Structure 1
């Protein structure tokens, strides 16, 4: 199975599309808000808002103020999710969630996460303005932690909302020794109330997330949006290599136990493995830490990461075993000890067929070709899919660049996504209004 595959024939490079001025003006407002949020950062030279930091809290407050101004019933839950709700008067109504995240990686782009949140806010503002009669409750959620930068725990926000949060994580510490419990307390949350912040599994109706593609397919083919059919599973591993630190000038080369050399060999082995199996998976070493590093010291301990992803669960499992064996062989050859620690596992997810049918219809009715993509990146739709039908809409982004300050979108593409998203929700309203059993 190809990880990044297009399941329909793409349009040619000369493909063009027209969007109503109303959607363009709404897109302009969304992008203005994106700029305002991006101005809030831990790093004045870039965009960094990691979970629980002062910059994150300032950004959350800004998003909450916009939700309040829109007329939503707004609150911040104990994990720091900002939640705004529109209540339906329909008897027995369930909850449909629009969401994405507002935390970032370090030195991030502006659009990964916040674009989906602020597009959702635009949609709810239109419902309120037009006094739309809702057949179900709609909740907009700005998740507090999807990236997992601070505690190496992705999906903290959405796991609380779905009732799958692991209390064992509360003792985990960040780089400064601050536990997750302490961070939650500092944010004004209460760890005893985390379970109460979940939407009960029998109250979920569905989930919809819009997000930049974070890949080049739409950009290269001048297509504004795509329907997501599945999300790749992933395994994150922390590898600790231990050898013997020594004097760089006195220990002969053939007698060294160089932990960094072992880690470096594994980095290249992981890359070669990924290239050899490029149609099935991706493998990345993105973090490398040399403990007690000095230019005249043979490294005695090195920690590196491994991020392994595939849309095929069986292939993900076998690749994990193969790379673990490669790492152990390198350690044995170099007389190193290796500690292999699985930090995170998420299974591949298939998006809900019924909702994807409606989303495909919305794309067609908005005048665009239906392109179907598998997401190699993880999203909050992953934990949500365990309790609710979930679907996603991808938006074209500049050259597919993401997790990078060069991340960008074009106004016309955002406007097209607003139009498609609004039509999708209209189709949902019609579907559930005519289906009392739902």
Structure 2
């Protein structure tokens, strides 16, 4: 079977998984939903067909293990996720899972003797849509699951604890699902770029240098509600005007540090909104990302000062709550070197990129060396139904991955 044939087989599985959704009109598969469970069952059946030691663990990760015949062998984890955002594309996550299945099946047909175990994992909750808890799956596998999250609730008031139980998980056994740190060899993930660089530069794949750190803040402006027709303009304490001024400040400061930072306000909530009411309370999100942790801290503090200044000038107050802080991650130099060699061996120029989006590799990097291969996607579109990857680019990624595993095997056998 040539690379394009293998790519088309991968595409077929991606399409099959995309048909499993909470919404008949688009792809939505959030943690713990019936569609999520059906998707897990589908991936589990594929792993079983491939002859892997397959199971679904207590957090809902689908895991397939191909053990080495070598005693005390370490484990290479090849993984991505199968949960999605709402109204998602087909490729974000499932591309990496289905390509890993193809890679392992091909290695088995070659009857290659691996000096390490391979564990394929379809992570259960990378997007964090339901409970706003990104990386539940990888946190469990790395032994970093935070039990304080168990009491978090979704929009229906269901706790994470109850959701885990509902999918058949055992809260008390989560720790046992971790791969001990001393057993890890490394981590490899294939993922769409989710950006336009490869598309614009007409390149099929790239090596990921690192993953940007993230800081998420919830900012709530408190003013005074009032009748839109009776309160004079100079007497108003309009929380929405304060939020609007803050949004523009976020854009301005983001542009100031655009070489290594992005800043976004993606959510505005006006409490008790009505066309004839002056907004008295407005909540907005703030998302800051950079590979420079010092810059992240600097910009966060600058924007907090801006919010305070806006409030002082408008006689308002603001709450500033840090929701999430994730440090930047550097991918492993040795693994990236092998990945770059593999791209060259496949006949393509090596491009290095930084990921502005978060990935499970962020969590895994705390216990093991990580590397990632980006694959070109149409116009860089992601988290949207127009998300697309051509079979030709998948074929290149398959070829590169084949080279990568063979190179890693050769290096490991000499150690």
Q: TM-score, normalised by structure 2?
A: 0.97
Q: Structure 2 matches for 1:7-18, cutoff 5 A?
A: none
2:389 match: 409
Q: Does 1:301 align with 2:303?
A: no
- What's the offset of the Cα at 1:400? 1.0
Q: Does 1:325 align with 2:305?
A: yes
Q: Structure 2 matches for 1:360-375, cutoff 5 A?
A: 360-375=340-355
Mapped to 2, the partners of 1:332 and 1:41 lie a distance apart of 48
> Contact 1:153–1:344 (CA<8 Å) still a contact in 2?
no
> Contact 1:72–1:85 (CA<8 Å) still a contact in 2?
yes
Deviations 1:240-260 (A, max 9, x none): 222222222222222222222
Mapped to 1, the partners of 2:225 and 2:195 lie a distance apart of 41
- What's the offset of the Cα at 1:263? 1.6
1:255 match: 235
Q: Does 1:54 align with 2:29?
A: no
Q: Does 1:143 align with 2:123?
A: yes
SS of the equivalent of 1:270 reads helix
1:428 match: 408
- What's the offset of the Cα at 1:416? 0.2
Mapped to 2, the partners of 1:255 and 1:175 lie a distance apart of 37
Mapped to 2, the partners of 1:316 and 1:343 lie a distance apart of 14
Count of residues in Structure 1 that have an aligned counterpart in Structure 2: 415
1:93 match: 73
Q: Structure 2 matches for 1:37-436, cutoff 5 A?
A: 37-435=17-415
1:10 match: none
> Contact 1:283–1:307 (CA<8 Å) still a contact in 2?
yes
RMSD: 1.3
Mapped to 2, the partners of 1:72 and 1:30 lie a distance apart of 18
Q: Which moved more, 1:74-83 or 1:331-340?
A: 331-340
Instruction: Specify every segment of 5 or more residues in structure 1 that has no aligned partner in the other structure, as ranges.
Output: 1-20
Mapped to 2, the partners of 1:266 and 1:183 lie a distance apart of 37
Q: TM-score, normalised by structure 1?
A: 0.92
> Contact 1:184–1:191 (CA<8 Å) still a contact in 2?
yes
- What's the offset of the Cα at 1:319? 0.8
4+ residue segments displaced more than 4 Å: none
Mapped to 1, the partners of 2:20 and 2:322 lie a distance apart of 33
SS of the equivalent of 1:194 reads helix
Mapped to 1, the partners of 2:240 and 2:109 lie a distance apart of 60
1:31 match: 11
Mapped to 2, the partners of 1:44 and 1:294 lie a distance apart of 33
> Contact 1:88–1:137 (CA<8 Å) still a contact in 2?
yes
- What's the offset of the Cα at 1:133? 1.3
> Contact 1:109–1:402 (CA<8 Å) still a contact in 2?
yes
- What's the offset of the Cα at 1:158? 0.6
- What's the offset of the Cα at 1:207? 0.3
Mapped to 2, the partners of 1:24 and 1:257 lie a distance apart of 62
SS of the equivalent of 2:129 reads coil
Mapped to 1, the partners of 2:124 and 2:331 lie a distance apart of 23
- What's the offset of the Cα at 1:226? 0.5
SS of the equivalent of 1:269 reads helix
- What's the offset of the Cα at 1:314? 1.0
Mapped to 1, the partners of 2:56 and 2:225 lie a distance apart of 48
Mapped to 2, the partners of 1:156 and 1:335 lie a distance apart of 41
